[in-house]
A and B are shown apart, each in its own frame.
Chain A
Amino acid sequence: MKAFKYLSPTTVEEAIAFHGRHSETAKYIGGGTDVIVKVKEGWMEPDYLISLKKIEEMSELHKNDATGELSIGAMVTHATLEKSLMIRNEYPIIYDAVSNIGSLQVRNVGTIGGNLINAVPSADGAIPLIALDGVALLHGPDGERSVEVKDLFIAPYKTVLKPREILKKITIPPQEPHTGSAYIKFGRRAAMELPLIGIGVLLTLDDDDTCAKARICLGVAAPTPMRAFDAENFLVGKKIDENILIEAGKIAADESKVRDSIRGKAWHRKEMIRVHVRRMGLKCLNMIKDNY
């Protein structure tokens, strides 16, 4: 592996300052499960790696009981999310997604922030955060700014982050009552699998059972994680049943921009969207029913 200097600042400001000093040749590193692979393969050749591990605030996972807002530090690992009962019970879609990322060894060090900023179309962690209307808090040389997670991605491996900017945390606005959410990663194996396609669905129902809010988010369906807006709009205002979900699945599949790759065929990916929008939708409905 190429030689580099490893720096471990303890505050965000310090990290940004380090980065400023070494600009072009420096890279942030979270858990390193993407970065180390890239350096080993020679796709990334940093002279400096600036670790975010010692910045304590970035590893905090916290729900504000007063406001209902969830805050996930960018350095929170997938395993921490997976093991949190609060996440499992209140944000099942996050649990579904993170508990099947890579292997336990990867989840023990890989972070949610790294997953977002690495910005591959198959990033499992991105889908639930988009579905939950997550907001990314970015910190750069000029201070802080917020970007909705759904707007974070530009292209494979490209986000809206400016040079030196750090993703500090993701906040999730309070969840409305009567909300259900679920994610499935469709692959050939039960583990160690990048999704052939990832499908996340979130539904919020009004008191009269009509759909107040719908999120249908897809991974590997386009160059970046995407929302199926047409399908979502189709659902809002309707009384949700299986037939409606079937229809939404079709719309989402049509909207997707799936492609053939060595991992899977476009037509099959479309089919999987169609099928799983319905299945995840039904799972949401059951969740809502169970929580009444």
Chain B
Amino acid sequence: MTTNISFLLNGDEISYDIKDHWTLLHLLREEMGLIGTKEGCGNGECGACTVIVDKLAVNSCLYLAVEADGKTIETIEGLASTEGSLHPLQQSFVDNGGIQCGFCTPGMIMSSKALLDENPGADREEIKHALAGNICRCTGYIQIFESVEAAKEPVVENRGGQNE
């Protein structure tokens, strides 16, 4: 039950022999060593494992790796530029206290990115709606909202740029 899949991962073309029952989270973390994507529940209830598949935020713990075939996948590892500078959203989470223990952070940032890519001007209510599936136990969310709001402008300017 091995299948070969090809997909675009953070801009790189990947071809991988996978088992049909692997989740995308398993493929990323356990097979490919991309530990940035976190598992907080394994059941779709916390958002720590959020990655972007064809522009949509999904829980990689419930998403089968076989279904990544032909898709464009973005994970937290792909956000910073190749020179290492942080993506505006990452920088904004750093600057605005959006990160405490950091376990929710990769998922939180990926959900935020999917939101701002689609809706660069998202307001507080839209941010809350989009992040409702990402649980954070540390921050009480306020500084996370502030982080996303503060990142709004640069992300728009950056569209089509290196980080896209």
Direct contact of A and B (CB under 8 A): yes
Q: Which residues of A contact B (CB under 8 A)?
A: 1-6, 8, 32-33, 36-37, 39-40, 49, 51, 53, 79, 102-106, 108-109, 190-192
Known: A37-B43, A40-B42. A104 touches B129 (CB 8 A): yes
Report the nearest B residue to A99, measured CB to CB: B129
Among A3, A4, A36, contact of B62 (Cβ-Cβ < 8 Å): A36
A1 to chain B, nearest CB (A): 5
CB under 8 Å from chain A, chain B span 127-141: 129-130, 132-135
Among B57, B64, B66, contact of A105 (Cβ-Cβ < 8 Å): B57
Cβ of A103 and Cβ of B132 under 8 Å apart?
yes
Q: What 0/1 pattern do residues 44 to 55 of B give for CB contact below 8 A with A?
A: 110100100000
Among B21, B56, B132, B134, contact of A1 (Cβ-Cβ < 8 Å): B21
- The bracket for how many chain B residues form the interface is 20 to 34
Among A6, A40, A105, contact of B47 (Cβ-Cβ < 8 Å): A105
Cβ of B20 and Cβ of A53 under 8 Å apart?
no
CB contacts (< 8 Å) of A105 on chain B: these are 44, 47, 50, 57-59, 111, 133
Known: A32-B63, A191-B133. A6 touches B20 (CB 8 A): yes
Report the nearest B residue to A39, measured CB to CB: B21
CB contacts (< 8 Å) of A102 on chain B: these are 44, 133
Q: Does B75 contact A (CB under 8 A)?
A: no
Cβ of B67 and Cβ of A106 under 8 Å apart?
no
CB contacts (< 8 Å) of A2 on chain B: these are 21
Cβ of B58 and Cβ of A108 under 8 Å apart?
yes
Q: For the complex of A and B, list the 8 residue pairs with the smallest distance between their C-beta atoms, beginning with the closest.
A: A103-B133, A191-B132, A6-B20, A108-B56, A105-B59, A36-B62, A6-B66, A3-B21
B153 to chain A, nearest CB (A): 23
Cβ of B133 and Cβ of A4 under 8 Å apart?
no
20 sampled A-B residue pairs with Cβ under 8 A: A1-B21, A3-B20, A3-B21, A5-B1, A6-B20, A6-B66, A8-B66, A32-B63, A36-B62, A40-B42, A51-B67, A103-B47, A103-B132, A103-B133, A103-B134, A104-B129, A104-B133, A105-B50, A191-B129, A191-B132
Cβ of B23 and Cβ of A1 under 8 Å apart?
yes
CB contacts (< 8 Å) of A8 on chain B: these are 66
CB contacts (< 8 Å) of B56 on chain A: these are 79, 108-109
Q: Does B3 contact A (CB under 8 A)?
A: yes
Known: A3-B1, A37-B43, A37-B62. A106 touches B19 (CB 8 A): no
B125 to chain A, nearest CB (A): 11
A200 to chain B, nearest CB (A): 21
Cβ of B133 and Cβ of A36 under 8 Å apart?
no
Measured CA separation A2–B133 after assembly (Å): 26
Known: A106-B44, A108-B57. A3 touches B132 (CB 8 A): no
Known: A3-B1, A5-B1, A37-B44. A106 touches B23 (CB 8 A): no
CB contacts (< 8 Å) of A36 on chain B: these are 23, 62-64
CB under 8 Å from chain A, chain B span 47-102: 47, 50, 56-59, 62-64, 66-67
Measured CA separation A263–B56 after assembly (Å): 31
Measured CA separation A106–B59 after assembly (Å): 7
Among A33, A37, A49, A104, contact of B111 (Cβ-Cβ < 8 Å): A104
Measured CA separation A192–B56 after assembly (Å): 18
